[in-house]
Amino acid sequence: MTAVDARPATATHDAAGLRFPTAFRWGTATAAYQIEGGATEGGRTPSIWDTFSRTPGKVRNGDTGDTAADHLHRMPDDVRLMKELGVTDYRFSVSWPRVQPTGRGPAVERGLDFYRRLVDELLAAGIRPVATLYHWDLPQELEDAGGWPERDTAHRFAEYAGLVAGALGDRVTTWTTLNEPWCAAFLGYGNGVHAPGRTSDLAALRAAHHLNLAHGAGARVLRDRLPATAEISLTLNLHALRPLTDTEADRDAVRRIDAVANRIFLEPVFHGRLPQDLVEDTAAVTDWSFVRDGDLEVTSTPVDSLGINYYSPSVVSAGRSESPSPWAGAEEHVAFTPAPGPRTAMDWPVDANGLHELLTRLRDELPDLPLLVTENGAAYDDYADPEGRVHDPERVAYLEAHLTAVHRAIADGVDVRGYFLWSLLDNFEWAYGYSKRFGIVHVDFASQRRTAKDSARWYAEVIARGGLERG
């Protein structure tokens, strides 16, 4: 029996507002390369993002994560910020090249020591640590050997998972194998806008399978190394898809994208099979012979919960996508139309209904699986005013709408156990460098000064009362 077997009480309404279950997990989240800095300290070697960010033209303004938010050196202060917010959980990722610099062999204890100290600080602050093993920072040496399109990378990941579990498993009770394998596979190897910047439909499909295999193999290692009460999870950025019109052509466009965006992970992981329509759609790219006997048994290793990352929906129609495309096998048949409504600084539409749609879909497809919203948030053009305050009413409105959608989903019978706001800190936002700010804590990157935004104070109040006030 795991720690997530007992279903919590449902969400409620009262005169004051929307109340979440008593045991609801109120969290925030970050990723190692985006905040840690210390890129060459303690034996750490380059990841694919170190290499990619140094490649001219790949990251806005030539920014890198060398310093980022300097969390490596400011971690105790950042934990104190979390304690002041009142969060119950903190979702962080472990830097693979900080722990196992070449992706092979023994761990570097200095690297593990940082995460030991982080976990100790969190526990002392009464915050539950939630460890993500992979948030896109593949050791460059493994990419040089072929990266995720190569089968061996999945085996290397399982070895690395065992090293981290051995160091932290006595204190960390919630583990996530991979964060957003769709992005790692299709943005990294399909259209090349993320590291390592390769553009190949075949490489993207191979990478997706080997990421699924890494998840399953890693989950088996975790199950073997961790106490029976440990919670093992996977986090997916499932796409909320809507047809532009109710025509058969547009509905088929949604089917194609659902196969390569969602079901390419959901079906191997939870049903031990490949989507047959995906195999047919991609027949001109591959015969899928890289999927070997026994692979799907590994990919479908049981997990205790599923993390969902959501930011905005997508509107899909028949057409043709720009090249290079992340939509392997679908780019000749599918186009995307901007969804209506207000937009964030990322030019992403704001539509909380998409989160409710995803959560209720998963209730229907995986009715016995607890869910966590492991990322949700928005970038806006924040700045400190002359008094040093950072007002971000648009972010507050975004978060309130999406938490309302989560509450509605729980009331509709979805077993949502927690919400992790993205992100705690302004950080290195991948190919956007430091030009986009998702944090509820403002970071002046020149001085590394932290300033709680209005949204941080708002979130602290939500946590303190266990829900939302009525408008």
* Alpha-carbon distance values, 324 to 139, 191, 331, 339, 347 (Å): 25, 5, 9, 22, 20
Given 375, 394, 400, 429, the catalytic residue: 375
Total residue length of the chain? 471
Contact call for residues 308 and 366 (beta carbons, < 8 A): no
* Alpha-carbon distance values, 378 to 94, 262, 330 (Å): 23, 22, 28
Residue type, 186: F
* Alpha-carbon distance values, 108 to 158, 178, 214 (Å): 17, 21, 21
Q: Is position 375 annotated as part of the catalytic site?
A: yes
- C-alpha closest to that of 136 among 188, 80, 87: 188
β-strand partners of 129: 90
Contact call for residues 211 and 185 (beta carbons, < 8 A): yes
Q: How many CB atoms lie within 10 A of CB 386?
A: 5
Cα separation of 161 and 314, whole Å?
33
β-strand partners of 416: 371
User: HSE of 189 in the Cβ direction (CA atoms, 13 Å)?
Assistant: 25
In what side-by-side order are the strands of the sheet with 314-318?
A: 241-243, 314-318, 334-337
Cα separation of 355 and 434, whole Å?
27
Q: What is the DSSP string of 51-85?
A: HHHTSTTSSGGG--SSSTT-HHHHHHHHHHHHHHH
- C-alpha closest to that of 176 among 310, 304, 87: 304
Contact call for residues 462 and 403 (beta carbons, < 8 A): yes
Going by the DSSP 8-state scheme, the letter that residue 47 receives in this structure is B
Cα separation of 353 and 271, whole Å?
27
Give me 362's structure tokens.
Answer: 């998963």
Contact call for residues 71 and 36 (beta carbons, < 8 A): yes
Omega within 30 of 0 (cis) for the link into 46: no
Contact call for residues 133 and 139 (beta carbons, < 8 A): no
Would you please indicate which residues are annotated as catalytic (active-site) residues? 375
